[in-house]
């Protein structure tokens, strides 16, 4: 099967510090992004979304979402609000939120459902804290995928993008081996196939994330099961991020 268009997502996390810097970074990225071959998404901090959306050339994502549309939920943001501010994607279940904000698989499942119901494309992040020789970490990935998608109807599952992000590879400058990323992506598709069948599962996009940069992007994108990249640190550097996009355009 031919590969779908690559999806390259830049997760800015809690950066940059000012609106001015955010505008200049988005401007730089918009300049390099000029291709039919790749989908590029920028996920800035939520307050910048409305400001950056004026840049029509880019697609935007949020870094988290709540599971209700309105009500007494102090501090939360809904999918319709994010859409109105220009987001078409949302990262859900990033390991930093699992770690620092207490997101559980059950909460993540509700967020994914709310996103899909409101036409935001969720990027569900899964990945083990550590790899063990016996492969027990596959069990962790399996349950993160199964529970994360558990609120969706069968027909909704294909709307989700999965990002395989081994926690030990995030921000560590120690990316996974590309064959391990490929194996995990295949494993994720096989897990999903149990609910939707092989054909639908194979058509899904599974991204790799964890210390991706301009140098190693190609080796991941060349892997058969890897449909794109979720980039943290390197997405804040226009040069580095553009070389990742250029690489996706070449392949
Ligand atoms: P990193 O982050 O590219 O800085 O490792 C990836 C991520 O957290 O999504």
pLDDT tens sequence across 94-150: 999 999 999 999 999 999 999 999 999 999 999 999 999 899 999 999 999 999 999
CB of 212 sitting under 6 A from ligand 1: yes
Q: Angle, nearest 10°, between helix axes 238-250 and 19-32?
A: 30
Residue 31 has what pLDDT?
A: 85
90 DSSP β-pair partners: 62, 122
Residue 33 has what pLDDT?
A: 63
Residue 32 has what pLDDT?
A: 78
CA within 13 Å, CB half, 168? 10
CA within 13 Å, CB half, 55? 23
Q: Which of 84, 94, 128, 240 is catalytic?
A: 94
Residue 55 has what pLDDT?
A: 73
Residue 35 has what pLDDT?
A: 65
Contacts of 194 (CB under 8 A, 6+ apart): none
Is 27 annotated as catalytic? no
14 CA distance to ligand 1 middle (Å):
12
**Cα end-to-end span (Å), the chain:** 15
Q: Which of 70, 165, 179, 223 is catalytic?
A: 165
pLDDT tens sequence across 145-155: 999 999 999 99
Q: How many residues does the chain have?
A: 251
CA dihedral over 236, 239, 243, 245, signed as positive or negative:
positive
3-state secondary structure (DSSP) of residue 175: coil
Helix (H) or strand (E) holding 31: helix 19-32
Q: Whose CA is nearest to atom 8 of ligand 1?
A: 232
CB of 171 sitting under 6 A from ligand 1: yes
Determine contact, residues 225/185, Cβ cutoff 8 Å. Answer: yes
Instruction: Ligand 1 pocket test: pick from 11, 63, 126, 174 the residue with the most ligand atoms within 8 Å of its Cβ.
Output: 11
Write the Ramachandran bin of 228: left for phi over 0, alpha for psi from -120 to 50, otherwise beta. left
Say yes or no to pLDDT of 1 above 60.
no
pLDDT tens sequence across 224-237: 999 999 999 999 99
Q: Whose CA is nearest to atom 3 of ligand 1?
A: 232
CA triplet 113, 47, 77: central angle to 5 degrees? Answer: 30
Q: Whose CA is nearest to atom 2 of ligand 1?
A: 232
Is pTM beyond 0.85 here?
A: yes
Is 94 annotated as catalytic? yes
Residue 40 has what pLDDT?
A: 94
pLDDT tens sequence across 51-94: 998 877 889 999 999 999 999 999 999 999 999 999 999 999 99
Q: Whose CA is nearest to atom 7 of ligand 1?
A: 232
């Amino acid at each position: 099967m031919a590969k779908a268009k690559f999806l390259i997502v830049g997760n800015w996390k809690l950066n940059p510090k000012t609106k001015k810097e955010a505008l200049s970074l988005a401007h730089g990225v918009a300049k390099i992004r000029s291709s039919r071959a790749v989908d590029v998404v920028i996920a800035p901090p939520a307050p910048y979304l409305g400001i950056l959306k004026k840049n029509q050339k880019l697609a935007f994502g949020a870094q988290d979402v709540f599971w209700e549309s309105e009500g007494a939920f102090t501090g939360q943001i809904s999918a319709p609000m994010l859409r109105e501010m220009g987001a078409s994607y949302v990262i859900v279940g990033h390991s930093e939120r699992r770690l620092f904000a207490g997101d559980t698989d059950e909460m993540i499942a509700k967020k994914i459902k709310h996103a899909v119901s409101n036409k935001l494309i969720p990027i569900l992040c899964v990945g083990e804290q550590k790899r063990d020789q016996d492969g027990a970490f596959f069990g962790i990935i399996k349950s993160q995928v199964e529970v994360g998608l558990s609120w969706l109807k069968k027909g909704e599952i294909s709307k989700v993008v999965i990002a395989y992000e081994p926690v030990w590879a995030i921000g560590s400058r120690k990316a996974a081996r590309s064959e391990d990323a490929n194996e995990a992506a295949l494993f994720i598709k096989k897990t999903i196939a149990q609910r939707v069948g092989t054909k639908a599962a194979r058509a899904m996009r599974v991204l790799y994330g964890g210390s991706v940069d301009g140098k190693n992007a190609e080796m991941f994108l060349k892997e058969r099961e890897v449909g794109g990249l979720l980039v943290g640190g390197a997405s804040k550097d226009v040069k580095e991020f553009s070389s990742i996009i250029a690489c996706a355009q070449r392949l």
